[in-house]
Structure 1
Amino acid sequence: MGETIDRAPEQNELVAAFIAELRHWRAIAGYSQKSLAKQIGYDSSYISKVENASLSPSREFAEKADAALHAGRALVRRWKAMHDAGIGPEARAHGGSAGDPQSTPGTALVVEHEDAALSFHGGMVETHVRRLLRNVGIEPVTSYLIRISVDRFPGDPERSNRLYRKDPLTWEEINLRARCGEEPMTWRVVHDRDAFKELWLLFENSDGRFPLYQGESTWIEYIYTVPEDKWGPWWKRAIRLPTRRLSLAVILPAERQPTVWGLETSMTAEATPFRTPFTKELNGDNVAFRWSTDDPPLHARFRVEWKFKNPNVAGEEDLGMDQMSPSDKMRAAGVVQEGESILAEVARPFDLPAEAEDARRVVSELGAKMERIAQVHTFAKGMGLAAPQIGIGRAAAVVRTPEDHVITLLNPRIVGESATVNEQYEGCLSFFDVRGMVPRPDVIEVEHQDIEGNILITEFTAGVARLVAHEIDHLFGTLYRARMRLGVLPIPVAQYTGTGKRWGFPSRDH
């Protein structure tokens, strides 16, 4: 641990803001401290000290981390604010970053039931969370950590950063209210950033304190709002404590003809649709989509997304979707477009199983984005998505076959291919206005890894081989244009007649 020195409260706030920004973008990109350090040429202990507030970061570190995490200069701006306040790279910030209060030794919380609802009201998005907590530890529980995070344009961090820099999320907009049983709860803010708030709900108010003692249970609830133009079309629930039951509801305006889907990622890297369907109930001007599950795995993430077919809010991302070009539709859905440097770079492999959690996060993001894209376009031939296409430079891709079978590829590379080749039209989500005639082997053998780091070799044939080869190319910085025969050019999508049809292969390949 580095030596700590006293600093002014406003300096400590700037240090805490940089730490929170760094952790936020690490989580989005799916990097551990170790993997980020390896990517940018730093020792992992350096990042650990930065995040523990025992070492102030250098300008070089801020620049390299920002570029590696595709943070849209957010980290550099946080660093500059510290620098302007006289906080140098050799400085030691006083104190440290507090962890979850429920992680204090001796305390142990179980969530008997989490019931969460999201709804739209007069231009605001309201989140209402109720949790039945039980203290199974030996120490009284006096606080509970919650987070409020918004991202209007997932997959386009610079665009989101511009939005929140110009118009930050404010406490007045959030209008947080919290209760424990019948008692109002106060709170203490940990991080207050443009698009992210973290705070402790306290088991106390002006009338006194009401800790949760060993063996006791109680309901807590909190409600907050976010303006609709600052909220993206997604909502995620993370299982951070042992939870017996999770139920959620997404209540959307019926006039906008909403479509809703959900994706679960747990301790394996597989991202799968919710195991049971949403129930759908029309209630006046709203339609409620409800879903529940028992005993969700610890660390599981449940992501709900939606699309409005008939948006009526100025600035709504889907407004005029029918008039957009195919590439603009994909850009609006968060797919990185041709010309961005990340599409020409070799993706960094995962160190498995050490980076298993990183891999799970990336696969979860890929699955969620594929669900969103599937609402925009029909993929009769199947579809695939590689991590660089959503701004993450890691060696992961997900392929969904026409039969709706999901193939997850970690650290894949082609190690064998057939001598026979076929030539078919392909489309790429990163330049979707054209289709190109691309020769590919009929059969490929792919070496890849599972989440435990075991090396596997899988054979793919026909259309699935084409889908898999296309995504592996992305992980090596290659677009299909480079695979086309010399002199052959892509054609405009308007001239392509294969939309909605499967590729044609001999019957033996079906």
Structure 2
Amino acid sequence: MSAGDSPAQRASDAFAAELGRWRIERGMSKKHLAIAMGFDPSYVSHVEARRHRPTEDFARRAEAVLHADGAIWQRFCEYDQVRAGARPRARAMRQDPRVHEQWLPPGVGLIVERETAELAYLGGEYLCRVRRALYNAGREPVTRYLIRIAVDRFPQQPDVSNRHYRDHPLNWDELRLRASADGEEMEWRPKTDRDAIKEVWLLFENADGRFPLYPGQRAQIEYAYRVGVDKWGQWFQRAVRLPTRQLDVRLSFPIALRPVVWGVETSLSAEAVPLRTPIEQEVVGERVYFSWSTDAPLLHARYRLEWRYRVPVRSEAEGPAIAGPPRRGPRASDRMRVVGIVQRGAEILRTPARPFDLPRQEPVARGVVARLFAVLDRVGVLHSFSKGMGLAAPQLNLGWAAAVVRPSDPEAQPIILLNPRVIEDSLDFDEQYEGCLSFFDVRGMVERPLWVEVESALPNGKPMINRYERGLARLVLHEIDHLDGRLYVDRMPAGAPLVPVEKYQETGQPWRY
């Protein structure tokens, strides 16, 4: 038997084929995969071409980066057992393999699978919202996560900036910091408290209990804070302190300010250079969005977007000094269509959504939820939702049983609905006007129960039952209707009129009970 026909060679070939299949499935080039894994750009090519045999470290990294549901790791185990002359292991795996420590910073077991960082200028202050999809690739539970908030109003004049923050230090109250993990509110604890820099531990716990991120588990954390224009400089920087698979950055400004945006990147070994890919620009109604992303952010690199306004901001409270009549924007439904929301008439809005197979499809579910949050953020900039807001996956042309609801109370945590179903509802009803992002030009009077109990699933598949009342019940039921292929007009009496949004008298007001 030749070496090329040996069991070890066949097992190595099977590993290379599995690696290539998952790489193509995830839409990654060999070079990008190698960089994401921390290898030389040519290394993956050598493994797939059978010029290099797989190693345990390589297999662990590939499994973690490609989210291969244990398939790549299993192929390596089979190869390793054949090479050692032992019986191959069973294919079933209980959890994702851990990544070798040498790939991670000392003492850290976290990988950021995706970071989405958004900054919006809104009426004299900047709102920063960051979402990170985390994977615990270490050996110990993670109970806290460190974030850093740094401001510099005059980055080119350090002496002026230092004096400014001595006289006007950044304080905790003005930040209004909020954080959550998979919808669970996170408590936080200050670590560093300086005039222009705050470091904060986000804790995987709250008054109701603790929820550590255990090895092999994933979670999405989200945090948001606000800083006045008098303290925030015209730049937004993302520092890559943990291994990160993808980084998305998005800026939002009033179009009346006529902003100009550019970007640079730096690393420990290189001077600042322009971003290697262009910043995309999109105008939606009265706002302009600038987006940039990379699927291979380098560890310890810093990616910085900077801007200037061609129309000056008069004051933090008054906003831009603009003369003349206001611009007339597009119809409400057109604005929703631009941000990616499917409009009435699309077949998917009449098709029941398919449930997730949890926990097997947990990464898919988390990805869908992340997209829902991203679009809700964009919608929230376009319109004020005093009654709360929600979005279902079919409205993004995704046929999955997932929806997100943001209550009217800005302090309340968002509601994530995976595979939801109504198990009981009230015998008492009321009628209120509802709107839908999929036909936002009108409002309709809809009868709903005053309370409802809903069973849904956590991303790990664990079921939970929650009771929602009044306005929150209405929001939740509206989204569950979407997942059943129904619209609120289906619940209106035959011939009942829809009210054009221009004549609707309750915009900006909560529902009355």
TM-score by length of 2: 0.48
**Bigger radius of gyration, 1 or 2?**
2
